[in-house]
Amino acid sequence: MNWQKVWAVNKYWVMSKSQQQYDYIRLLAKNNQWTPQKTQELGNIIDSLESVSPTKQTLTTTYQHIWGYFKKKCTDEELHQYLRLLDNLQPNNDKLGPFLAQLTNKYQIDYLQKSRIIIELNERKD
């Protein structure tokens, strides 16, 4: 298991569930000095977050990070829609995530297309 790939895929998904765990994993990964114990710990953290629901705060932070991929590419209309959806963000009725997934597909952002949070958002709308 390549921990860098696992982290890249799960990074925003982890952030959407727990800023503390996200920060902790970033600390683990510091200086790219990775060990089998850290790989196990990364897996354990990801497993422990499976049953955690995002909060408005964690989703807001995550979606603002994801939005960074679009802010220089988007249309004025997309920007206004993003801001409106961000203002009205509710974890139990999330309309911003699917919008960002749409933009990921529209603008073909490869890194995000491989991201677990975007993959899961795309699966939800099917």
* Closest C-alpha to 56, from 85, 25, 32: 85
pLDDT of residue 33: 79
Over its C-alpha atoms, the chain yields an Rg (Å, rounded) of: 15
**pLDDT tens-digit series, residues 82-113:** 999 999 999 999 999 999 999 999 999 999 99
Distance from the first to the final alpha carbon of the chain = 29
Name the residue range of residue 13's domain.
3-49
> What total of structural domains would you count in the chain?
2
One domain, residues 15 and 42 = yes
> Looking at the structure, do residues 43 and 82 belong to the same domain, yes or no?
no
Within this chain, do residues 89 and 44 fall inside the same structural domain, yes or no?
Answer: no
64 and 42 inside one domain: no
42 with 85, same domain?
A: no
Checking if the pLDDT of 1 tops 80, the result is no
DSSP secondary structure of 11-51:
HHHHHHH-HHHHHHHHHHHGGG---HHHHHHHHHHHHHHTT
pLDDT for position 29: 86
- Say if residue 32 is in the same domain as residue 67: no
Selection from 120, 15, 101, 114 nearest residue 58 by Cα = 15
10 lies in the same domain as 41: yes
Are 37 and 70 part of one and the same domain?
no
- Looking at the fold, whether 75 and 21 belong to one and the same domain comes out as no
